[in-house]
Structures are given as C-alpha cells and as structure tokens.
Amino acid sequence: LTQTWEAMQEQKSSGLTKHIGVSNFNQGKLKEILGMEGEKPEMNQVEMHPFLPQKNLVNFCAENGILLTAYSPLGSPDSRADRHKNDPKLLENAVVAEIARKHNASVGQVLIAWSISRDIAVIPKSVNKDRIIENLKAAELDLDQQDLDHFANIEVNHRFVDGSFFTGPQSPYKLTDLWDS
C-alpha cells in the first residue's frame, strides 16, 4: 500500500493528475494512508445505498476531510448472476416506493437524492438517455427529515457487491481488508 500511495502522490505532485483517491477502503486502510507522509486521499468510492448506508465510514471520512462517492446507489439492479437471485430488491422496496410517490418522482430519483442529501457524490449506471436525464433531475428533489428517517429505518442490511472479484489470486487483498465489520 505504501508504494502505491507514494506513486499516486508523485503523479499529483508532478502535475500528471489533479486529484487522488481510493476505492473500497475501509477505516483501517484509510487510517494507514492517513498515517503516511504527504497527501491524503480526496475521495473514497464505495458501495452505498439505503440497504448499506455505511454510517461509520461516512462519519470517519467526514471527520478526516475525505469525500465519498456511492456506487451501486440503486442496489445493482443489473446483477444477473445466479448468486444474486435472492438479493433484496432496493428498487422494489415499499419504503422507497412510498417516498417516491410522495415526491411524484421515480424510485431511482429518490435513491439518488438520498445520497445527495448526505453530501455524497453518486454514480448511478445507465445507458438509457431518458433515464440519465431523469437521474440528473434527482438533484432537484428535496427530501425532508421524515423521508430521511424512513430511509434510516428501512431495516434491510445488504451488500450487493461481495468483493470476491477484488480478492482474486493476483490480488494482495482479502475481504477483511475491504469491508468494515
């Protein structure tokens, strides 16, 4: 990790990049980097949605000036692998659907607005032009405290990305390196 982070810092100091960050770093790995000399990561990109709000990681990053980007904010609806057939469906969750009805918005829009309301950048995946336009309009939604409380009490805990493809035979990482427990 030290060599990789030092190389990233070199890229920034030489002007080859303007920003450096990490992906799927838990608090332990972030603390390791924060203990090193030089730049700290500006961003940590992690799976985040109402089924996996990552409250402790969000607080840790805020306290240390690290921004967050949420991937799979809609619950990975395009996961077609057999191992995902029994996953809970975030896009079909009754709480999320009710909030969407209240705001006359799509379920995707309120899920994106949830991340935005937490000051978290969000990267929903879409190749559909109309859906991309709809997703951008999520920034116009103003979720109130009641909505946020409903999201906080959704009572489903699920990680859609299991991390196994990050920990293959060539990887120096184990799952315990990736996720906070």
Each residue's pLDDT tens digit, 11-55? 999 999 999 999 999 999 999 999 999 999 999 999 999 999 999
Q: How many beta carbons lie within 10 A of that of residue 149, not counting itself? A: 9
Nearest alpha-carbon partner for 156 in 82, 83, 63, 75: 75
Tens digits of residue pLDDT in 97-120 = 999 999 999 999 999 999 999 999
Q: What is the pTM of this model?
A: 0.89
| Residue 79: per-residue pLDDT | 65
Whether 80 shows a pLDDT value over 70: the answer reads no
Whether 165 shows a pLDDT value over 90: the answer reads no
| Residue 163: per-residue pLDDT | 74
H-assigned helices in 128-179:
129-136, 145-152, 175-178
| Residue 181: per-residue pLDDT | 62
* 131 or 178: which leads in pLDDT: 131
CA distance 37 to 53: 30
Whether 139 shows a pLDDT value over 80: the answer reads yes
145 token code pair: 């405290």
| Residue 85: per-residue pLDDT | 78
Contact 74, 111 (CB under 8 A): yes
Domain 42-167 sits in CATH 3.40.718.10: no
The CATH 3.20.20.100 domain(s) of the chain lie at 42-167
Whether 179 shows a pLDDT value over 90: the answer reads no
What is the average pLDDT score of the chain? Answer: 91
Which of 58-62, 66-70, 92-96, 124-128 has the least mean pLDDT? 124-128
CA distance 41 to 67: 9
